A and B are shown apart, each in its own frame.
Chain A
Amino acid sequence: MTATDSAVRDGRRAGKGSDRTPRRRRVAQHRWLPYLLLAPAIIFELLVHVIPMLTGIGISFLKLNQFFLRNWLEAPFAGLSNYHYAIDVNGSIGKALIWSFVVTIGFTILVVGISWVLGMFAAVMLQRSFRGRALLRTIFLIPYALPVYAGVIVWKFMLSRDNGMVNHLLAQLHITDGHTFWLIGNNAFASIVVVAVWRLWPFALLTLMAGMQSLPTDVYEAAAVDGAGMWQQFRKLTLPMLRGINQVLILVLFLWTFNDFNVPYTLFSASIPKSADLISIHVYQSSFQNFNFGLGSAMSVLLLLFLLVVTGVYLLFTSRRSRRA
């Protein structure tokens, strides 16, 4: 007996005794029901996201620095000057922001791409039962189970030049001389990609595993009878059936990685190397460390606009494709 079976019967049993409500009342009640169901979500979204967000956008038009912090409503109107600073390619602030933006795009594409591939690979490999499957599944989820600080600080420890495990291992394997810098210079970019993938791919795995478990097995059996190989089954069956979940998963991985603050901040503190100058830290430094909340907010709004456009295009593209398919 499955959960659904019993659930359906449960419902049937409960249905018998209940009084039938008059039809009209029911319709009216149902018209309001979706809104009622949405209400808690809407209230919390308004409180925590939407209203603060609108305030944040407002701040981006203010000259909000330490002089006005205490009475920030009285901060002078700055017009578009914060935006001007942020996108002025000839100024050093604009230049640095664009650099940081480019780094973040590269970082995001790599991390999301690798994480998705690893997650998909492992999910397919773990789709069929074999000895040790449950153990592996748990092991793979551990990086995700560690608090970010714990997971990333151990990497920082491993990547340190003199006492780190990575250099130790590379020297033992005679790959390098064991004196490579991983936390500064250009290597810092590679380091943060690896660390971010380490933290992120288990999440891709988790989502894809959950998705695959709801795939019907009989289709695979039929395909196997037809002589379809593993690769073909994956391409012709698994991928199309997971399209909906993949669409959301990739989008969320993207947004999440793009805005990630915890990983770079833990790995590099506030002194982030130029090659890994991710935008979240960049904005943080402009706002909190330099007491320039107007400029920081303007940068954030620009990012938000960028993400809105990317997401819009992405959704348009993917949903049209899936409708055609």
Chain B
Amino acid sequence: MRKRILGVVALSAVLVAGAGGLTACGSSDSGSDSKTITYWASNQGSSIQNDKDVLGPELKKFTKQTGIKVKLQVIGWNDLLNKITTATTSGQGPDVVNIGNTWSASLQATGAFVDFDKSHMDTIGGQDKFLATSMSSTGAAGKTPTSVPLYGLSYGLFYNKKMFADAGIKNPPSSWQELVTDAKKLTKPGGKQYGITLAGASYTENAHFAFIFGQQQGGNFFDKSGKPTFDTPQNVKAVQQYTDLISKDKVATPASAEHTTTNDAVEDFTSGKAAMLLGQNNTNTGIEANGMKASDYAVAPIPMLSPLPAGGKKINSHVAGINIAAFKGGNETGAMKFIKFMTSAKEQVILDKAFNALPVTSEAAKDPAFQTPENKMFVDVLANTAAPMPMITDESQFETTVGNAMKDLIAQAATGKSVSAADVKKSLGDAQQKMQSGG
């Protein structure tokens, strides 16, 4: 008996020691000295490992240049916001972190990030090195940014060349109306082939398109004072412009309604179920990871309503992308050096090529790598016809309320109930009430 007790005790001791021993090397989220920084990178590549493979050699270069070691953690999108939030409460975060640029105003409000005031901006090479549109998505208007652009992204229309040719369509659609007509031509009875595919259950994607089409319709989701104005006629039309693809026109794959991520929609596109796909430029990676050849598809700007309704703006993408920020209280000097390095023209070219992203500095944008017709198009959209998502502290609430309302409408459409303007107005009204009382 005693032997057995001893055994249990010994086993516990071993387990504790094992676990404890590993805390030593695993616990250094913070507490970095001046010679190390911790970096939380977002997942940009085809896998977390791919991100590490791409970033690894670059981080080595940085260490060689500055003597500062970088401890890298690549964090999936599922966990990134939660981790940043919890790190914020405790004041113990990494030194440098990637954020989705639509979060920048919300996270700016927490006061956890270092301000990019004049002196910090100068340290990293001056605000002017960044593209103006990319800079527009770094924090609330009139406030000192707390993040700077790292990877640029914008929306485009991906289309299957062969399916277009088979349907006798020569050029990508030049207006939204034409897109719908083309999509009808491309939709075959029997459910084998559809004109387009959407990530209809993704609240973020839905919110993006509500915003983009809202701009075209001349609508605004917030008034000047920042109050939500979700159920204006323009916004109702904007949402319908999107939901009609599945409801009235029935040109989107029905499964669109259950796609929770863009990569689900990509599967529809690469497997030949859908001829078109609305996606950001890094969608390339996914399409090719699924085995579709670069020569089989092409990209065009997402066509706009023609003519634009009164007050409508020529917007066909939001300023998408990833920003980089530094946590207060860590190795701020090291962090600034690192951000300077990551946003330098040389690194921009290397990283953007590897991640299928767009450069966020004008110098890097000149690199021949971004002069291919496809990249030029995306850069052009980002520079000229993209608007930042509302830069308000409650942006994430806007995305969850409006995006989820649209998800329910799309689900309703896909399961056979038609979606009327009144339905849209009602659910946008509910969303607005939620947003207002969310306080």
Contacts and interface: CB of A to CB of B under 8 A. Distances in A.
Contacts of A91: 433, 437
A262 interface: no
B258 A66 contact: no
Nearest to A185: B415
B438 A93 contact: yes
Contacts of B261: 269
A201 interface: no
Main secondary structure, interface of A, reads loop
Contacts of B404: 271
Contacts of B268: 162
Interface in A212-270: 268-270
Given A160-B258, A162-B255, A271-B404, A70 B438 contact: no
B437 A85 contact: yes
A92 B1 contact: no
A67 B414 contact: no
Contacts of A10: 1
B438 A184 contact: no
Interface in B70-85: 81-82, 85
A267 to B, nearest CB: 10
Contacts of B411: 181, 184-185, 273
Contacts of B202: 271
B173 interface: no
Nearest to B108: A66
Nearest to B2: A14
A280 interface: no
Interface string A161-181: 110000000000000000101
B437 A66 contact: no
Interface residues of B, number: 46
Contacts of B257: 181, 184
A292 B253 contact: no
B110 A69 contact: yes
B408 A273 contact: yes
B177 interface: no
A70 B400 contact: no
Contacts of B91: 70
B19 to A, nearest CB: 15
B109 A271 contact: no
A207 interface: no
A290 interface: yes
B107 interface: yes
B437 A179 contact: no
Interface string B403-417: 110011001101100
A157 to B, nearest CB: 11
Given A70-B88, A269-B260, A271-B201, A290 B437 contact: no
A179 B82 CA distance: 36
Contact of B110 (A67, A92, A183): A67
B434 A181 contact: no
Interface string A57-80: 000000101110110100000000
Contacts of A286: 438
A274 interface: yes
Interface string A4-29: 00010010001000000000000000
Contacts of A162: 253, 255, 268, 273
A318 interface: no
Contact of A183 (B85, B191, B258, B434): B258
Contacts of B203: 270-271
A140 interface: no
Nearest to B430: A92
A161 B254 contact: yes
Interface in B410-439: 411-412, 414-415, 430-431, 433-434, 437-439
B245 interface: no
A17 to B, nearest CB: 13
B415 A291 contact: no
A92 B434 contact: yes
Nearest to A265: B78
Nearest to B206: A271
A179 B412 contact: no
Given A179-B191, A288-B81, A69 B88 contact: yes
B110 A70 contact: yes
Contacts of B397: 290-292
A271 B82 CA distance: 16
B89 A69 contact: yes
B396 interface: yes
A273 B437 CA distance: 22
B111 interface: yes
A311 interface: no
Counting chain B CB atoms within 10 Å of each CB, the highest count among A7, A161, A295 belongs to A161
B254 A69 contact: no
B400 A290 contact: yes
A278 to B, nearest CB: 14
Interface in A268-300: 268-271, 273-274, 285-286, 288-292, 295
Given A66-B107, A67-B110, A179-B254, A288 B82 contact: yes
Nearest to A162: B255
B393 interface: yes
Contacts of B106: 66, 291
B190 to A, nearest CB: 11
A143 B178 CA distance: 50
A195 interface: no
A7 B4 CA distance: 12
Contacts of B278: none
Contacts of B407: 271, 273
A69 B414 CA distance: 40
A181 B256 CA distance: 11
Interface of B: 1, 81-82, 85, 88-89, 91, 106-107, 109-112, 191, 201-203, 253-255, 257-258, 260-261, 268, 273, 393-394, 396-397, 400, 403-404, 407-408, 411-412, 414-415, 430-431, 433-434, 437-439
Interface of A: 7, 10, 14, 63, 65-67, 69-70, 72, 81, 85, 88, 91-93, 96, 160-162, 179, 181, 183-186, 268-271, 273-274, 285-286, 288-292, 295
- Cβ-closest 10 pairs across A and B: A184-B411, A92-B433, A185-B415, A183-B258, A269-B260, A66-B109, A290-B397, A162-B255, A92-B434, A271-B201
8 contacts: A14-B1, A66-B109, A69-B85, A93-B433, A161-B255, A184-B258, A185-B412, A186-B415
Given A69-B110, A271-B404, A290-B394, 9 more contacts: A67-B393, A69-B88, A70-B91, A91-B433, A185-B412, A269-B260, A289-B81, A290-B396, A292-B439
